[in-house]
Amino acid sequence: MIKINGKAAPEAKGNTLGQYLDENGYNKTRIAVEVNGSILSKKEYDSYIINDEDIIEIVNFVGGG
Amino acid sequence: MTNNEFINALIMRHGSDIYHKLINSKVAVAGLGGLGSNVALALARAGIGELFIVDFDRVDITNLNRQQYDISDIGKAKTVALANKIRAVNPIIKIKRKKIKITESNAVELFKDHSIVCECFDKAESKAMLINTLLTSPEDFTVVSASGMAGFDTGNTIQSRKINDRLYICGDMVSGIENGMGLMAPRVGICAMHQANTVLRLLLCDLN
């Protein structure tokens, strides 16, 4: 079962991570994406194909400090 | 006050074991605004042996609402002003400072001697850049980041979250300046203290 931010996301299977991020309105300059425990490089977003069993966390940063 | 008196006071407060662990530790702070100035001072008070503080900016009048600078600091490089503040509360700490803008191209080289880096930037893009750059590099960084501390909603939603062994994020994750909320001393301070406490836990406990 694919999990994205803690929720089951079977519909994401076979999509690239880049497609998923676009379709779900993420601004790619403000996020870090962890796939199965490690941060995926931005360069790999468009080539990474979401697999069954992937656990993905998308951290969306907001401004302020 | 002599250095020995200062050291004895730290040992009296924290115990010898914790004192020795912290005095032999070093931490980098990237960005010296509302988060970074507070994180650095809290770690200095805790007795960290060495701090590496980095910021390209100078103290501005609009910083006084939440950052640890005072009127006499306006116009000074934040690295210089903060180093003075740190030395005023901890006479034995080693401070390294660099006035430079941290980018994708210089971040790894800049921080490669520091296994713990506090991300204390203000722009969301800069936060994401530093985390993506450090955590996809071959170096073994742990980043303590912050996101979501604007406004004056309850402070109880600001938390420390472990994303994985190398990434911790403090904040409420949603209250950004993009939503028209200003930054104020209390919530920014709460968030910075979460970061400083996470650093202490990384240095003193086995979190993994």
From chain A, pick out residues whose CB is under 8 angstroms from the CB of B173: 60, 62
Compute the distance between CA of residue A56 and CA of residue A38 in angstroms, rounded to an integer: 9
With 0-12 CB in 10 A as exposed, 13-18 as middle and 19+ as buried, what is A15?
middle
Per-residue model confidence (pLDDT) at position B208 = 67
Q: How far is A40 from chain B (nearest CA, A)?
A: 7
Query: Rounded to whole angstroms, how far apart are CA atoms B17 and B29?
Result: 24
Question: Which residue type occupies A45?
Answer: Y
> Which of B34, B124, B164 lies nearest to residue A61, judging by beta carbons?
B124
Q: What angle do CA A57, A59, A63 make, to 5 degrees?
A: 175
Give how far A4 is from chain B: nearest CA, Å: 13
B121 touches chain A (CB under 8 A): yes
DSSP secondary structure letter of residue B176 = -
Judged by a CB distance cut-off of 8 A, whether residue B167 touches chain A is yes
Q: Which two tokens stand for residue B149?
A: 């501390």
pTM (two decimals): 0.97
Confidence (pLDDT) at B171: 98
Per-domain boundaries in chain A: 3-60
Give the Cα-Cα-Cα angle A35, B170, A57 (nearest 5 degrees): 15
Q: What is the pLDDT of residue A59?
A: 97
Q: Which of A32, A41, A64 sits opposite B128 (nearest CB)?
A: A32
Distance CA B142, CA B26 (A): 12
Q: Determine the residue type at B134.
A: L
Minimal Cα–Cα distance from A18 to chain B, Å? 15
Domain assignments of chain B as residue spans, ordered by start:
25-204
Does the complex come out with an ipTM higher than 0.90? yes
Structure tokens at A47: 């080539």
| CB contact B132 to A (< 8 Å) | yes
Residues of A with CB under 8 A from a CB of B: 29-32, 34, 37-42, 57, 59-65
Percentage of the residues of chain B whose pLDDT score is greater than 90: 97
User: Does the domain at residues B25-204 carry the CATH identifier 3.50.50.60?
Assistant: no
The residue in chain B having the minimum alpha-carbon distance to the alpha carbon of residue A42 is B132
Q: How far is B66 from chain A (nearest CA, A)?
A: 9
Nearest CA in chain B to A27: B125
Q: What is the pLDDT of residue B179?
A: 85
CB within 8 Å of B147: residues ≥ 6 apart: A59, A60, A61, A62, A64, B124, B127, B169, B170, B171, B173, B176
- Say what the pLDDT of residue A50 is: 98
Verify whether the Cβ–Cβ distance A39 to B131 is below 8 Å.
Answer: yes
Q: How confident is the model at residue A19 (pLDDT cuts 50, 70, 90)?
A: very high
> Closest-CA residue in chain A for B195?
A65
Q: Residue B128: which of A30, A34, A41 has the nearest Cβ?
A: A30
Mean pLDDT computed over A43-55: 97
Cβ separation B128–A31 shorter than 8 A: yes
* Contact B131/A at CB under 8 A: yes
**Residue where the block lists tokens 């968030």:** B191
| Residuewise pLDDT in 10s, chain B (208 residues) | 999 999 999 999 999 999 999 999 999 999 999 999 999 999 999 999 999 999 999 999 999 999 999 999 999 999 999 999 999 999 999 999 999 999 999 999 999 999 999 999 999 999 999 999 999 999 999 999 999 999 999 999 999 999 999 999 999 999 999 988 999 999 999 999 999 999 999 999 987 6
Q: Report whether CATH 3.50.50.60 matches the domain A3-60.
A: no
